[in-house]
Structure 1
Amino acid sequence: MRIVVVNWRDPWHPLAGGAETFAWELARRFARAGHQVSFVTARAPGQSRVESADGVRVVRMGGVFTVYPLVLGWLLVRRGRFDVVLDCQNGIPFFTPWVVRRRTRVFCVVHHVHDRQFGLHLPGWLAAFGRFLEGPVSRWSYRRHQSVAVSPSTVRAMRERLGWTGPVHIITNGVSIAQPENVVKSRVPRLVCLGRLVAHKRVHLLLDAVAELRKRWPDLVVDIVGRGPGEAELRARLPEGVTMHGYLPEEDKARLVAQAWVHVSASQGEGWGLSVLEAAALGVPTVAFDVDGLRDAVRHGETGWLLPEGTDLAKGIAVALDELDHTYTVKCRAWADRFSWDRSAERLTELMLGHDVEPGWEAR
């Protein structure tokens, strides 16, 4: 097949996150299987306009907002060259059905519904416009096409909050974190937090919890790994015992996570929570709130702890530290082993070829 993946960013973009990992891990596997794959995305300062990586042709154009019309124009000129479009929605999709041929198969890939997050990042009028595009305009634009979601939470949110009526297939994330050798667990209580430093991740809640936790565990330390627009504000209020590492190479990140006792996610909602799966693959359970995506990625009482939204995070982490034992490590690794980028790529390939695919999530 001739496949084009359109995604807001690529995995080398300074603000790349789990959505970029998902799009790229699948794209490179499609290319490895012999398909012709283009990855069309925005261009960050210093990035080349066109390059090839892992057999995928990467084409970059535009910035945060201008990427949308530029990509549509690029596709319109080449509308006869592709068999399949994977239109990845990051709050707002690219509306590729407007410009490609009617017989081109378009799949709208949705990680999570952003309606409640637009207000955290945008002024009121622009947030309302974003919700309009994500809801009624998207629902109409993709009404004749199939969609892909990464979790049951996303499917439910698409149905209930966006009024989505067409077929939605679940294609789960895989896990590809490095497995460091000779890692010894920290001798002192150690927490780790992975992810982009943006408002909806609510990393400040973890910082607020540290002082209370250190009253009981004075030697407790916290490692925060990631970068984003909220980094400077968080650094300005770091409590004692917390280290912000920014970006880390994969092997260094894995070694740091593997030493931790518990991974913490304070996010208000995710499509899935790729960091949860990465931590689980290293035997580290997660404390998270019982919100979209994270309730799918964390098995309460087995691979971590789900806290009711509004719960005091310090108390939730304290419960986790008290209950933590080796069984969590074993169950975390077993849970992560169920997810594979190869299997996800194979499943999506079958959908793109027009084949019927048996439900995948229920078998897990």
Structure 2
Amino acid sequence: MSAGRRILVVSRWDVRHPSAGGAERYLHEIARRWVADGAEVTWVVTRPPGAAAREVVDGVEVLRSGGSWGMFPRTALRLLRRGARYDAVVDGTSRMCFAVSVITGRRVPVVQVVHGVPRLAPAQRFSPTSAVGRFLAGPLARWTRGDRAIAVPSVSSRHELRRHLGFRGPIFVVPPGTTPERGRPERTAQPTVVVVAPLVPEQRLDLLLTKLAPVVARVPGLRVEILGEGPELSRLRGLAADVGVADSVTLHGRQPDEVRRTWLRRAWLTASTATADACGCTVVESAAHGVPHVCLAVPGVRDFVRDGRTGRVVETADRFGDTVEGVLADLTDPELADRTSAVCRAWADRFDWDRAARLLADVVTHQIGAVRSKRGGTGQRRYARSDIATVVRFPDGAAPAVAGLLRATDEVVVSDGQVGVLLNGCDEFDALGVLDRLGVHDARISLAGRDDLLVGPLPLPASLTGEPTPPSRSDRPVGTFTRTSRG
């Protein structure tokens, strides 16, 4: 983020809210890196009981508003209406895009960050309230947003926005990062599943407990450790007793970062039954500790699990418990567990918070340029072709000058003499024109795939490509769990 730029971030919670999860950590890790680069970031959120109205967290000014959820967008709008000058607004609420233009009376660059597209249950789809909500989130939202840029952490989340909400403007993929963990795992002697999630309905932890109940009965000594806080806590404790897993499941509540990392080092496996979680922070963090992940095949989460290598993606909830049991059985093999841990870490190493901050800053720069171009000034404008991207890999040793010749949202990566470029909004034919401007004529060109968008334009190591290695044996019949772990 350019030094001196002022950014207003708006979301429901900040990273210190009791119910904060991956979405809040995502925004916080990016915002604090923008501050480190010299930007000024103000973050407006709701105020939980006992929290300060204003606090500086890692250089980010956090303003908290009391009252209902609807209060805090008005706080942000008051800042803008009273003349506070921000170069751009980063909206994590889906509420600000239309309101900023209407209430302030001027066009302010807005980038929306979307972490999930919740699905309505059948009983909700025809209620008057949901009908209004669908209109606000669908046709009206599309009309008011126009070509405003949206950032999502995963490729499948972008597909959901196109398919279910009909968004036509530019949507850029900005994956989360992680912090490398170099310490050796301290895996417990007994099989342990660690779940890190806010205790909110979207995480479907009730489904997790229900599906793990028969697994607890069949796997000797199985422990399930759930770290997180939220309104579902008392209900989940009651459900654990009702399904007979209270002696095997511990709901720890919200824990400090170091405690969370300690539990991940001890874990055999992490798991998720979330239905609208697109952030992927927890999945990548567990992989950084060498811990595989089992999840439902929902948008967002599934993008961050390499099925058969760093965990399993389960197509239906009915198979979730059996899959967890099978993976735990696989991990009783010490050699297989070590290989799985190494592959998980190699995958996590491809995700970097500095890159995430840079990519989202580029989207902000793109949107500022789009607004300026509408005012008649200069700036780069990109239309709804952002779903198309091309990877260009230069010959070894080639390092052409690219300054001023690429768009703000194009990504250049240099590593060990290799140069890769991700050209957003370009097909292979358009990429040839870019290479002509760069004076390069023997580069390799290919359309970008999911991996290129998630981890960048350089190739993945062999351990993460090809047939799944280590081999998965988690389709073995239920009831064949054996313990050969070293502990």
Q: TM-score, normalised by structure 2?
A: 0.69
SS at match of 2:239: coil
Instruction: Give me the whole-angstrom Cα distance separating, in 1, the residues matched to 2:264 and 2:304.
Output: 17
1:192 matched residue in structure 2: 194
2:293 matched residue in structure 1: 286
Instruction: Give me the whole-angstrom Cα distance separating, in 1, the residues matched to 2:52 and 2:126.
Output: 31
- The answer on 1:146 being equivalent to 2:198 is no
Answer whether contact 2:101 2:107 (CA < 8 A) is retained. Answer: no
2:131 matched residue in structure 1: 128
Instruction: Report the AA paired with residue 154 of structure 2.
Output: S
Point out where structure 1 has 5 or more consecutive residues left out of the alignment. Answer: none
Instruction: Give me the whole-angstrom Cα distance separating, in 1, the residues matched to 2:360 and 2:206.
Output: 37
Answer whether contact 2:11 2:92 (CA < 8 A) is retained. Answer: yes
1:337 matched residue in structure 2: 349
User: Which is further off, 16-25 or 132-141?
Assistant: 132-141
How far does residue 85 in structure 1 lie from its aligned partner after superposition?
1.0
Instruction: Give me the whole-angstrom Cα distance separating, in 2, the residues matched to 1:16 and 1:126.
Output: 26
1:164 matched residue in structure 2: 167
1:351 matched residue in structure 2: 363
1:315 matched residue in structure 2: 322
SS at match of 2:12: coil
1:246 matched residue in structure 2: 253
1:207 matched residue in structure 2: 209
In structure 2, relative to structure 1, the CA distance for the partners of 1:49 and 1:215 (3 Å cut) is closer
Answer whether contact 2:73 2:95 (CA < 8 A) is retained. Answer: no
1:277 matched residue in structure 2: 284
How far does residue 176 in structure 1 lie from its aligned partner after superposition?
3.7
Answer whether contact 1:139 1:164 (CA < 8 A) is retained. Answer: yes
Instruction: Report the AA paired with residue 138 of structure 2.
Output: G
Instruction: Report the AA paired with residue 45 of structure 2.
Output: T
Instruction: Give me the whole-angstrom Cα distance separating, in 2, the residues matched to 1:259 and 1:117.
Output: 36
How far does residue 18 in structure 1 lie from its aligned partner after superposition?
1.4
Instruction: Give me the whole-angstrom Cα distance separating, in 2, the residues matched to 1:134 and 1:88.
Output: 14
Instruction: Give me the whole-angstrom Cα distance separating, in 1, the residues matched to 2:250 and 2:313.
Output: 25
How far does residue 114 in structure 1 lie from its aligned partner after superposition?
2.3
Instruction: Report the AA paired with residue 148 of structure 1.
Output: A
Find the partner of 1:216 among 214, 218, 228: 218
Provide runs of 4+ in structure 1 moved above 4 Å.
91-94, 100-103, 117-120, 179-183
RMSD: 2.4
In structure 2, relative to structure 1, the CA distance for the partners of 1:142 and 1:29 (3 Å cut) is same
Instruction: Report the AA paired with residue 356 of structure 1.
Output: A
Larger radius of gyration: 2
Instruction: Give me the whole-angstrom Cα distance separating, in 1, the residues matched to 2:107 and 2:319.
Output: 52
Instruction: Report the AA paired with residue 341 of structure 2.
Output: T
Answer whether contact 1:272 1:292 (CA < 8 A) is retained. Answer: no
Point out where structure 2 has 5 or more consecutive residues left out of the alignment. Answer: 367-406, 411-421, 423-452, 461-487
Query: How many pairs are equivalent?
Result: 360
- The answer on 1:31 being equivalent to 2:35 is yes
Answer whether contact 2:97 2:112 (CA < 8 A) is retained. Answer: no
How far does residue 94 in structure 1 lie from its aligned partner after superposition?
5.7
Instruction: Give me the whole-angstrom Cα distance separating, in 2, the residues matched to 1:250 and 1:153.
Output: 29
How far does residue 181 in structure 1 lie from its aligned partner after superposition?
4.9
In structure 2, relative to structure 1, the CA distance for the partners of 1:86 and 1:308 (3 Å cut) is same
SS at match of 2:325: helix
1:54 matched residue in structure 2: 58
How far does residue 93 in structure 1 lie from its aligned partner after superposition?
4.8
Answer whether contact 1:97 1:141 (CA < 8 A) is retained. Answer: no
2:45 matched residue in structure 1: 41
How far does residue 137 in structure 1 lie from its aligned partner after superposition?
2.5
How far does residue 260 in structure 1 lie from its aligned partner after superposition?
1.1
1:9 matched residue in structure 2: 13
1:67 matched residue in structure 2: 72
1:298 matched residue in structure 2: 305
Aligned ranges for residues 100-139 of structure 1 at < 5 Å? 100=104, 102-116=106-120, 124-139=127-142
User: Which is further off, 321-330 or 209-218?
Assistant: 209-218
